[in-house]
Structure 1
Amino acid sequence: MASLVLTDGSQLTSDSQHLGMYSSPTASLVLTDSSQLTSDSQHLGMYSSPVASLVLTDGSQLTSDSQHLGIYSSPVASLVLTDISQLTYDSQHLADWCPLGKDTYFRKFEIYSMAWQNEINLDNVVLAAASYGGPVAVVRDRKRFIKVQTTGKPVISIYTASGRQMSSIVWTGGQIIHLGWSSTEDLLCVQNDGCVLAYDMFGTYLHTFGMGQEAKDTNIIEAKIFASVNGTGVVVLTSSYRFFLVNNVKEPKVRQLAEVAGLTVPPSSWCVISEDRHTRVLMARGSDLYLLKHSEQHAFPVGLDLRENTKSVVEMAVSHNNRHVALFTDLGHLWIGSADMRKKYCEFDTKCPSRPRQLVWCGTEAVVGHWDTVLLVVNRQGEFINYSYDSPVHLLPEMDGVRVLSAFTHEMIQKVPLVVQQIFRINSTEPGSYLLEASKQFQKRSHRSDEYIRLVKDQLNVAVRQCIDAAGYEFDPSNQMMLIRAAQFGKSFVPDIDSEPYVKMCRTLRVLNAGNNHTENLTCGAWCGLVKFGNFWYN
Structure 2
Amino acid sequence: MERPSWTIIFVPVVGIRLRLADCYANTVAVGVAVTTMSTGDWQLLYERYYRRRHLYDMAWPRPVQLSAASRLVFFEAASFGGPFAYLNLSGPKARPEMQIYTSSGILISSFSWKHANLLKMGWSNDQSLVCVNNDGRVFVFSIHGDLITQFTLGKEASTHGLCDCCITGDCIVAVTDTTFELIYFHGIGNPVRMPLAQPDLHREPPSSMVVVPGNGSPFGVSPSFDALNSPPSSPTGAPPSGIIVIVGTQSGTIIKVEESSAEDQMLSGGPFVQMALSPDGTRLACFGASGTLHCLTSDFKRNIFEFGTTSAQAPLQMAWCTNHAVVLTFEHHILLVGELGYNFVSLPYDTPTRIAPEIDGVRIVTASTCEFLEQVPKSTESLFTIGSIAPGAMLYDAAEALEKRIPNADENIRTIIADPSVVKEAIQTCLHAAQREFDVRLQKRLLKAASIGKLFFDTSDNADGPDHDLDPDLIRNVVQTLRMLNTLRSEGSIAIPLTFDQLEALTPSVLIDRLLQRNQHVLCLKICEALNLDSKRVLLHWAIAKVNQSRSDVVSTQHEEVQLARLIVKRLSIVPSMSLAPIATAAFRAHRPVLAITLCDNEKRPSAQVPLLISMNEEERALDKAIASGDTDLIFLCLQHLRRSRSHSALFSMLQTRPLAQSLLIEYARQSGQMDLLKNALYALQMTRPAANLAVQQAYKQEHLTERLKGLQLAAQFYYQDKRDPFWGTSADDQIKLLQVQSRLEAESATATPLVDRSVSETIDAFLAEGKVTQASKLQQMFKVPAKRFWHIQVQVYARTMQWAALYALVDGRKTPPIGFAPFVEACIANGNLDEAVRYVALLPDTADRMEWLCNMGRWKDAVQVAVATHDLDALRTIQSNCAEPDVLEIVEKAIKRLS
Give the TM-score band, short-chain normalised. Answer: 0.7 to 0.9
Match of 2:114 in 1: 172
User: What is the total number of aligned residue pairs between the two structures?
Assistant: 441
Distance 1:95 1:244 in 2: 49
Distance 2:336 2:258 in 1: 31
Contact 1:179 1:188 in 2 (8 A): yes
In the TM superposition, what is the alpha-carbon distance from 1:118 to its structure 2 partner? 4.8
Q: Does 1:95 align with 2:40?
A: yes
Match of 2:242 in 1: 278
Match of 1:30 in 2: none
Query: What secondary structure, in the 3-state scheme, does the structure 1 residue paired with 2:410 have?
Result: helix
Q: How does 1:124-523 map to 2 (within 5 A)?
A: 125-140=73-88, 142=89, 144=90, 148=92, 150-151=93-94, 153-227=95-169, 232-239=170-177, 240-261=179-200, 263-274=202-213, 275=216, 276-285=240-249, 286-296=251-261, 299-304=262-267, 306=268, 310=269, 312-382=271-341, 383-457=343-417, 458=419, 459-495=422-458, 497-523=470-496
Distance 1:139 1:93 in 2: 42
Q: TM-score, normalised by structure 2?
A: 0.47
Label 1:491 to 1:266 Cα distance change in 2 as closer, same or farther (>3 A): same
In the TM superposition, what is the alpha-carbon distance from 1:262 to its structure 2 partner? 5.2
Contact 1:336 1:380 in 2 (8 A): no
Distance 1:351 1:456 in 2: 52
User: What is the letter of the counterpart of residue 463 of structure 1?
Assistant: A
User: What is the letter of the counterpart of residue 98 of structure 1?
Assistant: Q
In the TM superposition, what is the alpha-carbon distance from 1:139 to its structure 2 partner? 0.3
Contact 1:246 1:253 in 2 (8 A): yes
For residues 398-436 of structure 1, give each alpha carbon's deviation from its aligned partner in whole angstroms, at most 9, with x where no partner exists: 100111000000001111111111111122121111111
For residues 341-385 of structure 1, give each alpha carbon's deviation from its aligned partner in whole angstroms, at most 9, with x where no partner exists: 111111111111311111111111111111111111112211211
In the TM superposition, what is the alpha-carbon distance from 1:279 to its structure 2 partner? 1.1
Distance 1:251 1:430 in 2: 53
Contact 2:55 2:497 in 1 (8 A): no
Larger C-alpha radius of gyration, 1 or 2? 2
User: What is the letter of the counterpart of residue 57 of structure 2?
Assistant: S
In the TM superposition, what is the alpha-carbon distance from 1:222 to its structure 2 partner? 1.5
In the TM superposition, what is the alpha-carbon distance from 1:311 to its structure 2 partner? 5.1
Aligned-residue RMSD, C-alpha: 2.2
Query: Pick from 47, 52, 57: which aligns with 1:113?
Result: 57
For residues 240-298 of structure 1, give each alpha carbon's deviation from its aligned partner in whole angstroms, at most 9, with x where no partner exists: 211111233244211243222352121112211222551111112131211111223xx
In the TM superposition, what is the alpha-carbon distance from 1:522 to its structure 2 partner? 4.3
Distance 2:428 2:503 in 1: 18
> Per residue, is there more strand in 1 or in 2?
1
User: What is the letter of the counterpart of residue 107 of structure 1?
Assistant: R
Match of 2:531 in 1: none
Distance 1:262 1:447 in 2: 75
User: What is the letter of the counterpart of residue 95 of structure 1?
Assistant: G
Matched-pair identity in %: 29
Label 1:257 to 1:526 Cα distance change in 2 as closer, same or farther (>3 A): farther
User: What is the letter of the counterpart of residue 101 of structure 1?
Assistant: Y
Contact 2:436 2:499 in 1 (8 A): no
Contact 1:187 1:199 in 2 (8 A): yes
Distance 1:334 1:171 in 2: 37
In the TM superposition, what is the alpha-carbon distance from 1:117 to its structure 2 partner? 7.2
List alignment gaps of at least 5 residues for structure 2.
1-11, 21-36, 217-239, 464-469, 519-900
Q: TM-score, normalised by structure 1?
A: 0.78
User: What is the letter of the counterpart of residue 479 of structure 1?
Assistant: L
Answer 1 or 2: higher relative contact order, Cα 8 Å, separation at least 6: 1
Query: What secondary structure, in the 3-state scheme, does the structure 1 residue paired with 2:243 have?
Result: strand
Instruction: Please say which of residues 505-514 and 252-261 is displaced more in the overlay.
Output: 252-261
Query: What secondary structure, in the 3-state scheme, does the structure 2 residue paired with 1:94 have?
Result: coil
Q: How does 1:30-109 map to 2 (within 5 A)?
A: 69=15, 72-73=17-18, 94-102=39-47, 104-109=48-53
Distance 1:483 1:526 in 2: 17
Label 1:492 to 1:74 Cα distance change in 2 as closer, same or farther (>3 A): farther
User: What is the letter of the counterpart of residue 108 of structure 2?
Assistant: M
Label 1:488 to 1:532 Cα distance change in 2 as closer, same or farther (>3 A): farther
Moved over 4 A (4+): none
Query: What secondary structure, in the 3-state scheme, does the structure 2 residue paired with 1:492 have?
Result: helix
Distance 2:332 2:473 in 1: 46
Query: What secondary structure, in the 3-state scheme, does the structure 1 residue paired with 2:409 have?
Result: helix
User: What is the letter of the counterpart of residue 233 of structure 1?
Assistant: C
In the TM superposition, what is the alpha-carbon distance from 1:99 to its structure 2 partner? 0.9
Distance 1:311 1:344 in 2: 14
Instruction: Please say which of residues 170-179 and 507-516 is displaced more in the overlay.
Output: 170-179
For residues 298-328 of structure 1, give each alpha carbon's deviation from its aligned partner in whole angstroms, at most 9, with x where no partner exists: x211033x4xxx4522211111221110111
Contact 1:226 1:234 in 2 (8 A): yes
Distance 1:98 1:378 in 2: 11
Distance 2:357 2:486 in 1: 22
In the TM superposition, what is the alpha-carbon distance from 1:119 to its structure 2 partner? 1.6
User: What is the letter of the counterpart of residue 131 of structure 1?
Assistant: S
Label 1:347 to 1:420 Cα distance change in 2 as closer, same or farther (>3 A): same
Label 1:470 to 1:171 Cα distance change in 2 as closer, same or farther (>3 A): same
Query: What secondary structure, in the 3-state scheme, does the structure 2 residue paired with 1:504 have?
Result: helix
In the TM superposition, what is the alpha-carbon distance from 1:506 to its structure 2 partner? 0.6
List alignment gaps of at least 5 residues for structure 1.
1-44, 48-68, 76-91
User: What is the letter of the counterpart of residue 41 of structure 2?
Assistant: D
Distance 1:178 1:424 in 2: 43
> Per residue, is there more helix in 1 or in 2?
2
In the TM superposition, what is the alpha-carbon distance from 1:233 to its structure 2 partner? 1.4
In the TM superposition, what is the alpha-carbon distance from 1:93 to its structure 2 partner? 9.8
Contact 2:56 2:104 in 1 (8 A): yes
Distance 1:527 1:468 in 2: 12
User: What is the letter of the counterpart of residue 337 of structure 1?
Assistant: L
Contact 1:93 1:107 in 2 (8 A): no
Query: What secondary structure, in the 3-state scheme, does the structure 2 residue paired with 1:422 have?
Result: helix
Distance 2:444 2:505 in 1: 19
Distance 2:145 2:208 in 1: 32
Distance 1:249 1:522 in 2: 26
Distance 1:327 1:443 in 2: 51
User: What is the letter of the counterpart of residue 343 of structure 1?
Assistant: R
Query: What secondary structure, in the 3-state scheme, does the structure 1 residue paired with 2:194 have?
Result: strand
